[in-house]
Amino acid sequence: MKKNNNSIRECLLNKIEKREAVVGIIGLGYVGLPLAIHFGQQGFKVIGFDVDERKIEMLYQGQSYIKHIKMDHINEKIKEGELEATVDFTRLGEADCMLICVPTPLTDKMEPDLSYVLDTTNFIADNLRAGQIVILESTTYPGTTEEALLPRLETDDMKAGEDFFLAYSPEREDPGNKKFDAANIPKVVGGVTSSCLEIASALYNCITQVVPVSSTGAAEMTKILENTFRSVNIALVNELKVLGHKMGIDIFEVINAAATKPFGYTPFYPGPGLGGHCIPIDPFYLSWKAREYDFVTRFIQLAGEINVSMPYYVIDRTMEALNQHEKSLKGSKVLVLGVAYKKDIDDERESPGYTIMKMLSEKGAIVSYNDPWIPVLKPTRKYNFQKKSTPLTPDVLREMDAVIVVTDHSAYDYADIVKHSNVIVDTRNATDKIDGADGKVFFA
């Protein structure tokens, strides 16, 4: 008996329109958890999947493991039975719409690590049924959805665009951003077929504006372009910062002056290096893929080299600052202020703060850190410092031979830090124009 594929499509569209579709979100991190909240707010039942049992336990205990995400709505939906969280991936069959929000890191050789995506896809394949849509949100190289996911999901009896649906919609989450979130950031969507695009667009239209594109590859490339744009421009101002120090010119003053131009210019600001899960990583996914076409992405590679070099520059400036006070880095007490990759969040993924701490330790410094958002340093794929945040007191500051401002959290009283510190290496321009900074502050 021939299947009525059109009715499968119409049935799923009808479920989405009536908010009767169950949304399964795989990966309850910085991307997945906000999506669970927004779909829940729009009346969908949500099942969250994660391999980390600790996250599931904390959600059911009413605790947030991501500080800037409030638990009010989550607690309400859990109590109503409209939001569940589980480590049981056999329940994937209960979801009508499955969103993959798992990490896509780089290997030590700067090659894409799709193991999380592929493992998730295999779980989905084991539980796939007719009338479901699978949407990849994890950032990856153009071609991933159709080259890596589609062959694992499609069988003789299950055809994409007929029996099930497959699409790509890149996450655009900006942790800690109080102005933009999943409810007002447009969603770029590409489908394997026109039916896949139609259904994915219908789903995301329930929470925000949709920007449809012609293919999953175009959607994948869109995300890479967005982050490469930022990487290249940050590399530019990082390079000009170093030149500015040699020339005695304040690059922050220059950037702010240039930003008064009402057209043709977008301000980017330098720092101690790139952090977060997107900008330091995503452009290299495209560089890797480009090799298949005998193409060298020179801008991406050069920007990467410059941005990766910035922690080294911070160390050089720290040594210069200590030298001017007749001290060596070896044996000096150094306090790193902030290990989150940007201000006012508890996300330390790919943070240059880790690199800086590692290099300081290797050169013989006695390293401690303070971060009001990160009380304990968690082990990462590269680092395991086993440190707790040092209280930020006048006595602690006076004990330190140098204080390095890596993350300019709003909670820091920079006037007080300048007052009690001996030497400050400022990578964020946080101490600019503070009284008493002359002779103490070295910008890096």
Query: What are the structure tokens assigned to 351, written together?
Result: 């943070």
Whose tokens are 């829940």? That residue is 40
Query: What are the structure tokens assigned to 199, written together?
Result: 């259904």
Q: Which residues contact 254 (CB under 8 A, 6 or more apart)?
A: 240, 244
Q: Evaluate whether 117 touches 124 at the Cβ level (below 8 Å).
A: no
Type of residue numbered 308: V
CB atoms within 10 A of CB 61: 9
Query: What are the structure tokens assigned to 425, written together?
Result: 């290496």
Distance from C-alpha of 406 to C-alpha of 20, rounded to nearest angstrom: 47
Whose tokens are 């720092």? That residue is 271
**Cα–Cα nearest to 100, from 156, 147, 140:** 140
Distance from C-alpha of 327 to C-alpha of 331, rounded to nearest angstrom: 9
Distance from C-alpha of 145 to C-alpha of 152, rounded to nearest angstrom: 10
Dihedral sign, CA of 177, 178, 180, 184? Answer: positive
Distance from C-alpha of 318 to C-alpha of 402, rounded to nearest angstrom: 8
Catalytic residue, chosen from 101, 196, 206, 278, is 278
The per-residue DSSP string of 270-304 comes to: --SS--SSSTTTHHHHHHHHHGGGT---HHHHHHH
Q: In 110-215, which ranges are continuous DSSP H helix?
A: 115-127, 144, 150-153, 194-204
Per DSSP, the three-state class of 393 is coil
Whose tokens are 């082990």? That residue is 379
Q: Which residues contact 311 (CB under 8 A, 6 or more apart)?
A: 272, 273, 352, 355, 356, 359
Q: Is 101 a catalytic residue?
A: no
Scored b (16 or more CB within 10 A) or e, 248-257 reads: eeebbeebee
Distance from C-alpha of 293 to C-alpha of 130, rounded to nearest angstrom: 36
Residues annotated as catalytic are 278
